[in-house]
């Protein structure tokens, strides 16, 4: 069967192959066919092709964006783009790169629709309205493909960092992990604000009690929940592992959802192993066991997990990440920001497999990471 090439296209329908060759162009065709026999190449006219077979169809380019008001239109105030998202046009797909820009190749001619693929979007985002596009597009034409986020009357691109003194950032520069996370979300997506609501010394059940007030005041699109470190100090939790940590975290997830905010759950960081006089070995065994329960609960609740615990343990020197027995230093907080960033931005299809950074550029580098 004759393959499609521009030289054989039917002008009336560019997707139909024409077998008509005008005599005036026959010498050009013959000359092109004769080229492989010249120049001393190892292939012959009857041998395999030197290059890949061109894919029939056309390229469709554009951007994928967060449609905050779900009207299907890219408004001037909507600054967030979604790198890594997968876009489908006419049965073909492509992945958005930096600034949410994409090109889908090999799209058949005709009236097609473009839409974000659900599995290729970050957690909680869903495809917006399909976008109609005529193929082939006009020269320089680009489309804007929307994705939407259910947040009710909450504030778009606003995050609530909720937890204890680690969320407060004790042991590091002001803001702890939130200062790094804010910068990288803005760089990657285009917009982000973060409110820090860390209350030192509080246990999980106390966090459960104060979360509704913080949600009502902040109205965040996302709630980043990190609790459990201080539960170790409750005797019955430490001795019998009879603790309300998991129940309290599950309750916080539901409280956030009821308030129209999308929860993300962080695993409990390990303790500094160098502080042997503070029971670091026993404490870290407890933290590991609690995190196993936390991960199981998070899967049951379909909540994205910021793998703070695993990311800390993966570093060559765990003690270098701490300012004291439990509080991270700036390097530790930078690493925590990476954990949250991965959980927030990684498309669902990628998160279902092995966690990876996907070649993304961060504005920081924790020890032993890059």
Residues 96, 114: contact at Cβ < 8 Å? Answer: no
Write down the residue that tokens 């077979």 correspond to. 53
The pTM of this model reads 0.81
Task: Give the three-state DSSP class for 112.
Answer: strand
* pLDDT given for residue 52 in this prediction: 61
CATH topology of domain 60-149: Immunoglobulin-like (2.60.40)
CATH superfamily membership of 155-351? SGNH hydrolase (3.40.50.1110)
Using CA atoms, how far apart are residues 172 and 162, in angstroms rounded to an integer? 17
**pLDDT digit string (tens) for 322-363?**
999 999 999 999 999 999 999 999 987 766 543 333 333 333
With a CB cutoff of 8 Å and minimum separation 6, the contacts of 48 are none
Tokens of 250: 């599950």
Q: Is the dihedral of CA 126, 129, 133, 138 positive or negative?
A: negative
* pLDDT given for residue 276 in this prediction: 81
**pLDDT digit string (tens) for 52-104?**
666 679 999 999 999 999 999 999 999 999 999 999 999 999 999 999 999 99
Using CA atoms, how far apart are residues 313 and 52, in angstroms rounded to an integer? 45
Residues 255, 215: contact at Cβ < 8 Å? Answer: yes
Chain centroid, CA 278 distance in Å: 37
* pLDDT given for residue 349 in this prediction: 74
358: left (phi over 0), alpha (psi -120 to 50) or beta: left
**Biggest alpha carbon–alpha carbon distance for the chain:** 94
* pLDDT given for residue 44 in this prediction: 39
Residues 303, 294: contact at Cβ < 8 Å? Answer: no
* pLDDT given for residue 30 in this prediction: 26
Shortest CA distance to 178 belongs to which of 360, 324, 339, 313?
339
Determine how β-strand 155-163 pairs with β-strand 220-226: parallel
> Helix, strand, coil % (nearest 5) of the chain?
35, 25, 40
Tokens of 324: 């004291």
Q: What is the mean pLDDT of each run of 10 residues along the chain (370 residues)?
A: 34 32 30 32 44 76 97 96 96 96 97 96 97 95 97 97 98 94 96 98 97 98 98 88 92 98 98 89 95 97 98 97 97 98 88 41 31
365: left (phi over 0), alpha (psi -120 to 50) or beta: beta
**Domain boundaries in the chain?**
60-149, 155-351
Tokens of 357: 């950074």
């Amino acid at each position: 069967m004759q393959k499609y090439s521009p030289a054989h296209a039917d002008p009336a329908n560019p997707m139909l192959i024409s077998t008509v060759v005008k005599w005036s162009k026959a010498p050009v065709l013959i000359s092109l066919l004769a080229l492989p026999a010249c120049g001393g190449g190892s292939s012959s006219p009857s041998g395999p092709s030197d290059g890949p077979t061109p894919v029939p169809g056309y390229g469709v380019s554009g951007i994928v964006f967060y449609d905050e008001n779900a009207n299907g239109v890219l408004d001037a105030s909507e600054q967030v783009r979604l790198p890594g998202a997968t876009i489908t046009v006419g049965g073909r797909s492509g992945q958005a790169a930096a600034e949410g820009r994409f090109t889908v190749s090999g799209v058949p001619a005709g009236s097609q629709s473009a839409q974000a693929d659900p599995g290729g979007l970050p957690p909680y985002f869903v495809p917006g309205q399909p976008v109609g596009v005529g193929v082939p597009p006009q020269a320089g034409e680009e489309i804007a493909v929307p994705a939407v986020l259910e947040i009710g009357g909450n504030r778009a691109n606003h995050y609530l960092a909720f937890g204890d003194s680690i969320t407060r950032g004790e042991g590091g520069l002001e803001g702890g992990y939130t200062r790094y996370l804010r910068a990288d979300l803005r760089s990657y997506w285009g917009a982000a604000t973060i409110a820090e609501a860390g209350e030192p010394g509080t246990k999980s059940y106390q966090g459960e009690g104060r979360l509704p007030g913080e949600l009502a005041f902040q109205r965040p699109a996302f709630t980043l929940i990190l609790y459990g470190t201080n539960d170790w100090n409750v005797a019955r939790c430490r001795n019998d592992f009879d603790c309300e940590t998991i129940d309290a975290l599950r309750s916080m997830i539901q409280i956030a959802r009821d308030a129209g905010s999308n929860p993300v759950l962080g695993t409990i960081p390990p303790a500094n192993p160098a502080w042997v006089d503070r029971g670091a070995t026993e404490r870290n065994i407890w933290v590991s066991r609690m995190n196993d329960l936390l991960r199981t609960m998070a899967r049951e609740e379909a909540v994205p997990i910021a793998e703070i615990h695993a990311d800390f343990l993966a570093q060559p020197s765990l003690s270098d990440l701490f300012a004291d027995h439990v509080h991270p230093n700036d390097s530790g907080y930078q690493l925590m920001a990476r954990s949250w960033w991965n959980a927030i931005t990684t498309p669902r299809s990628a998160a279902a497999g092995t966690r990876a950074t996907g070649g993304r550029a961060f504005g920081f580098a924790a020890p032993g990471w890059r």
